[in-house]
Structure 1
Amino acid sequence: MAACVSCGAPSVGDEHSFVCGFCGCQNTSDEYFRASAAEALRRDLSGSRSLALSAFESGDYESASQLFKNEIAVVGNDAESWKYYALSRVAIINASNFESECRFLRECLLRLPEDVRTIIGSQISRATLDIAAVKVDDYYRRALVRFENEVDPSREVQKGLEILVAALDLPNYASIARVHCLCIGMSILLSLQDWGISGPYAEALGDRIRDELGEISEQGFNADTVGAVVDACSSRHPRLIASLIEYFPELRSLSMDGGPAESSGWGWLVVLTLAVLLTIYLLS
């Protein structure tokens, strides 16, 4: 069973394309768009459009991207071509071209009608935010190593935050992935405070993260998703969970219940105690 990319609520029915009954987010998947491309191929299409759709359906997104680009140059502002062009480009996005691709994807989304934009929005948001989370975390770890070796980490921090901002500039159609990125960003800002590094860029990003967390928390989340936020973020910075409680009050009750780490600690204590008692019994 699929879960909504925005709030985490479980889906009912088709897991590849559904509107969440909890928050109203339109959810789509790679399989949904490949099936749509296959269906479009069965219609009477031009040769160039068929080639582009065939490449997309087969997962050859590099070729599909170039073919749809050529198609758009000929037919102009065609919503279907722009839709598959955007989906092809997001499938081949990587760290080296991340910021320029995010700018391009924003342009693509603006060119699409609202109904089409909604359909592809969750796929584009989730893919770019997932990549951003990995790359930002990578730059943060590099910065931490430099700081621990008494080397200025500013360049790595700046690059990581630039990638984060590029991803956040895309429309929000996937709040869970967005919260993950926001939490990584907040943990970096907390570390910068610890390191004594500050500046207007970090302050502006801090304001943005707090504003976005406030907006997202108002939308509401499935209860299981709150637990996932704890699991994903609790080890990033000792003050991170305390900072998140303002936006996700559920974390307070989970923390009072012991949370994953504390429960695990008690479990090991029980096992160790039983092992000692068993050893004493066998030796007596």
Structure 2
Amino acid sequence: MDPCTYKLYSVHGHDSRKYLEHYFSDKAEIIFGKDGLVFPIECLTKAFTTGHIKGDILLDLSKGSLIHHLYSACEFFKDIIVLKIKDRCIMELKRWVDKRTGAFHWGHAAKHHVDIEGKSHQLEDKEVKVRSSMQHVVKCDLEKENMTEPIVLPPADCIISAWLLDVISKDHDDFIRYLRKFSRLLKPGGHFILIGCLGRTYYMVGKDKFHGLNYDEEFARKALEGEGFIINVCKVHKRTAVSDLIDYKAIVFIVAHKK
């Protein structure tokens, strides 16, 4: 697919609230819950509870204003630094962190986390812990040598990138180039967690159609290994949702550590 055919997230951006409502809401008509919420949450919970992925700093380089993938992480890192390329996403995230009126409701994701952990009585504590960990939401420019200029970030113990590489990369070379930039933010031995869509070419937000990079599990594995990562976990969840909003074939979840 020619990426010029559709809008590109990193150039045009999109309505961050509409994106959440389309794909991550708890409304009855939203059909992406099993693929976009349940599968990643279950994988992340299992990955973190092994006890191997922990430290002081976790960097989140993910698409839109997502939060659900951070509920497990907050138990194992002192600070979560969230990097965003769009002001709209920063505003949406801060609205939730500051508990402002009209913030997106993530209670269904929090409940799923505590239910998996067998700690349903700690639902409120989980929300408080995520908010207290997420005090740093930083604007970044992916094309700069130092993406957070003038801020210089300390090396991270772990990076989570959920669905961002899929939508900022025009082609496979772009994917590898951005992956290399992300890797530079990670300590040797640190972990990289990738969540993405396999076999996608587009997704809709409102009436706008956006580019999604089409790649498969083999490409994702080789891209990480080519940048010096050793893959610890790779799981693929075949699509269950039926919708014309997006055309992915599966969700991939990979945990790798840097040599």
For the criterion TM > 0.5, the same-fold answer is: no
Pick the structure with more strand per residue.
2
Pick the structure with more helix per residue.
1
Query: Whose Rg is larger?
Result: 1
The TM-score with structure 2 as length reference comes to 0.29
